[in-house]
């Protein structure tokens, strides 16, 4: 199968698109590429090559980089181990792919006298160049793949639609350093060498498949689904699966080579985890509030929500999905490989509990799959060429509108008109086709969690009060004293609860999220009366704690603490605590509320009351 079909227009388009992206980067240069998530992907390089400290035990240089370059508000990119070393949350694939550019940036920093600290301007621009170069490689490889099944004209239009009609444009220009465009290039390379291997069964193509697939998996383990493409390519009918695997068995020695190379590429990551944790396999994404939940996929939200719906913010991809109907006609050898990859990849992406993938334009986790989705998109365009002219013009105009909408929305995102994580239907309707930010936009966005719960008291005008629970610690009839219950100095009724260093926690208020509300968030108000009996050792400290629990691991923990003055002992004091619920991971996660004696010898608590405040307006309550 030839992959070198002449294609002058598509070749020109690849060059023009890349020049446009590079020009936009120069016109709108990034402030700090090495920040937030990119900071975590990148840290392997300065930690290993400059400081010889991949465990970052000397944390001073990390803190200096964060303070000097404002790389991140917190060091969420890594977790600290008991021995003081840090293990990075992100895999090392991108660092491997960036390493030649890091060395180049280091040399340039030395020549021009910039700080050789791994983060100064030469290093930043080295990563910018790397991102643009990988984008060019990906587009070129994808062009070659498309020319094996489509005409030069269709190939050119597919490339235009992918770059200008999707959030690929935003990722390649305004989200430099994120993994998705690099993974797009790896996917395109995998597809290219898949075609070549099945055409001639050369060992060098098998080796390239292994290298590209291994680097993709090392960059983002969930992209192991890329292996479906070479395994299922050529499967025209499902009944022919025996023939498909017979082909792989016939070249089993090459398959063994592929497996060995995949293992060797993953070996540095395994060795890194073994050296730091004592285990070859280590779950670095250990935040209990975030993770893969295959039983709770957010398929509807990922596709259709106004928060981050793929078909809402990237409607060209809805057209590409329709094109799968025609793929068996244009490229039958790809049909089942693309179908199974699309379904499983969408399911895995939707099963991440943070399905909106933090701040971004649209569904950034699907950008790398655009190399695969180019095939059904091309199949649809090929089908259009066979249809009557009015219908062809109508669909063409619709695709043109989608391209213009994507360019406008890219502008809106960069100017804060479209919020990167808090959009709702009301907000989308308010900003639709706007080129300036509406003054009242904040009122239409979903609740501002600001990534922590310390936002102060809420504006209760947008909520309705739902009394939930009052715990008075009353003594039942006929029960004797003891078991931390007292009746003589209760604030109200005939009982209160004693907390001591041996028993520092009050009874816990506990409820699952699904039993609390059907809305996407609540404000929780907790009040409690606290008393420090006369003569007890000071200082004493009681915390009123609210948290969520996922499989016995706490997340979004918040405590309001009260420390009495000398003249406030032996009196009852009211503690009040506001808590904004987080993005709850799964419906069965539990809300926990309790009082905790942090310091001191003894304290009494009474009249714990929990009140829920549920949003009443659609913009607050939207699940989108």
Q: Quickly tell me which residue has 């070249």 as its tokens.
A: 251
Domain 460-621, CATH number (from 1.10.10.10, 3.40.50.410, 2.60.120.260, 3.40.50.10470):
2.60.120.260
User: What's this model's pTM, rounded to 2 decimal places?
Assistant: 0.94
Instruction: Return d(Cα 530, Cα 63) in angstroms, integer.
Output: 39
Question: pLDDT tens digits for 342-394?
Answer: 999 999 999 999 999 999 999 999 999 999 999 999 999 999 988 888 889 99
Whether the per-residue pLDDT at 450 is higher than 80: the answer is no
Question: pLDDT tens digits for 28-77?
Answer: 999 999 999 999 999 999 999 999 999 999 999 999 999 999 999 999 99
284-293, 472-481, 482-491: range with highest mean pLDDT:
284-293
Cβ proximity of 331 and 236 under 8 Å:
no
Half-sphere exposure of 114 (CA within 13 A, CB side): 15
Q: What is the mean pLDDT of residues 281-287?
A: 91
Whether the per-residue pLDDT at 479 is higher than 50: the answer is no
**Which comes out higher in pLDDT, residue 477 or 136?**
136
Cβ proximity of 252 and 206 under 8 Å:
no
What band does 286 get if pLDDT is binned at 50, 70 and 90? confident
Residues 6+ apart with CB under 8 A from 363: 167, 302, 308, 309, 310, 313, 314, 349, 357
Question: pLDDT tens digits for 516-545?
Answer: 999 999 999 999 999 887 666 656 789 999
Please return the burial class of 253, using the count of CB atoms within 10 Å of its CB with bins 0-12, 13-18 and 19+.
Answer: exposed
Instruction: Return d(Cα 457, Cα 319) in angstroms, integer.
Output: 45
- CATH 2.60.120.260 occupies which residues in the chain? 460-621
Strands (E), 521-599: 523-531, 541-550, 553-562, 572-580, 590-599
Instruction: Return d(Cα 564, Cα 529) in angstroms, integer.
Output: 13
* Axis-axis angle for helices 370-385, 121-146 (nearest 10): 40
Question: pLDDT tens digits for 206-239?
Answer: 999 999 999 999 999 999 999 999 999 999 999 8
Q: What is the mean pLDDT of residues 611-616?
A: 94
Please tell me the least confidently modeled range out of 18-22, 167-171, 474-478, 555-559. 474-478
Closest CA to 185 of 205, 204, 211: 211
């Amino acid at each position: 199968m030839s992959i070198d079909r002449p294609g002058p227009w598509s070749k020109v388009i690849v060059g023009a698109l890349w020049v446009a992206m590079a020009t936009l980067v120069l016109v709108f240069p990034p402030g700090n590429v090495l920040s937030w998530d990119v900071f975590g992907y990148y840290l392997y390089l300065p930690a290993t090559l400059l400081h010889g400290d991949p465990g970052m035990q000397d944390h001073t240089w990390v803190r200096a980089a964060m303070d000097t370059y404002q790389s991140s508000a917190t060091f969420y990119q890594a977790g600290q181990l008991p021995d003081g070393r840090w293990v990075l949350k992100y895999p090392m694939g991108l660092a491997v792919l960036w390493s030649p550019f890091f060395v180049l940036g280091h040399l340039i920093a030395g020549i021009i006298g910039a700080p050789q600290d791994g983060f100064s301007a030469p290093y930043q621009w080295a990563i910018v160049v790397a991102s643009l170069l990988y984008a060019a490689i990906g587009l070129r490889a994808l062009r070659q793949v498309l020319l094996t099944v489509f005409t030069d004209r269709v190939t050119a239009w597919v490339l235009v639609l992918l770059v200008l009609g999707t959030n690929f444009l935003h990722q390649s220009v305004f989200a430099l350093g994120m993994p998705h465009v690099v993974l797009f290039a790896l996917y395109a390379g995998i597809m290219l060498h898949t075609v070549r291997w099945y055409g001639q069964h050369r060992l060098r193509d098998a080796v390239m498949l292994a290298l590209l697939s291994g680097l993709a998996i090392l960059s983002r383990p969930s992209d192991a689904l890329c292996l479906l493409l070479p395994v299922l390519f050529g499967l025209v009918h499902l009944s022919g699966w025996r023939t498909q695997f017979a082909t792989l068995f016939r070249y089993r020695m090459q398959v063994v080579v592929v497996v060995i190379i995949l293992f060797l590429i993953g070996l540095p990551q395994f060795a890194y985890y073994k050296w730091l944790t004592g285990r070859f396999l280590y779950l670095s994404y250990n935040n209990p509030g975030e993770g893969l939940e295959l039983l709770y996929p957010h398929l509807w939200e990922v596709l259709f929500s106004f928060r981050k719906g793929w078909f809402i913010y990237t409607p060209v991809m809805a057209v590409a999905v329709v094109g799968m109907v025609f793929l068996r006609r244009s490229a039958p050898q790809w049909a089942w490989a693309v179908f199974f990859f699309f379904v499983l990849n969408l399911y895995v992406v939707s099963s991440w509990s943070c399905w909106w993938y933090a701040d971004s334009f649209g569904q950034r986790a699907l950008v790398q799959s655009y190399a695969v989705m180019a095939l059904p998109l091309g199949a649809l365009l090929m089908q259009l060429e066979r249809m009557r002219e009015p219908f062809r013009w109508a669909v063409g105009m619709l695709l043109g509108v989608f391209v213009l909408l994507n360019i406008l929305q890219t502008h809106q995102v960069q100017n804060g008109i479209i919020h990167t994580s808090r959009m709702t239907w009301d907000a989308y309707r308010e900003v639709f086709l706007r080129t300036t930010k509406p003054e009242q936009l904040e009122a239409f966005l979903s609740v501002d969690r600001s990534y922590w719960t310390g936002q102060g008291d809420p504006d209760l005008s947008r909520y309705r009060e739902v009394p939930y629970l009052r715990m008075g610690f009353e003594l039942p009839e006929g029960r004797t004293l003891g078991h931390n219950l007292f009746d003589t100095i209760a604030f109200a009724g005939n009982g209160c609860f004693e907390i001591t260093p041996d028993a520092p926690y009050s009874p816990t208020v506990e409820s699952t999220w699904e039993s609390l509300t059907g809305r996407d968030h609540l404000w929780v108000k907790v009040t409690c009366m606290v008393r420090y009996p006369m003569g007890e050792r000071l200082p004493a400290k009681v915390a009123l704690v609210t948290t969520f629990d996922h499989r016995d691991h706490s997340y979004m923990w918040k405590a309001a603490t009260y420390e009495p003055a000398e003249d406030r002992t032996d009196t009852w004091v009211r503690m009040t605590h506001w808590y904004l619920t987080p993005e709850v991971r799964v419906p069965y996660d539990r809300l926990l509320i309790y009082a905790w004696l942090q310091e001191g010898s003894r304290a009494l608590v009474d009249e714990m009351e929990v009140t829920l405040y549920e949003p009443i307006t659609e913009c607050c309550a939207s699940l989108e």
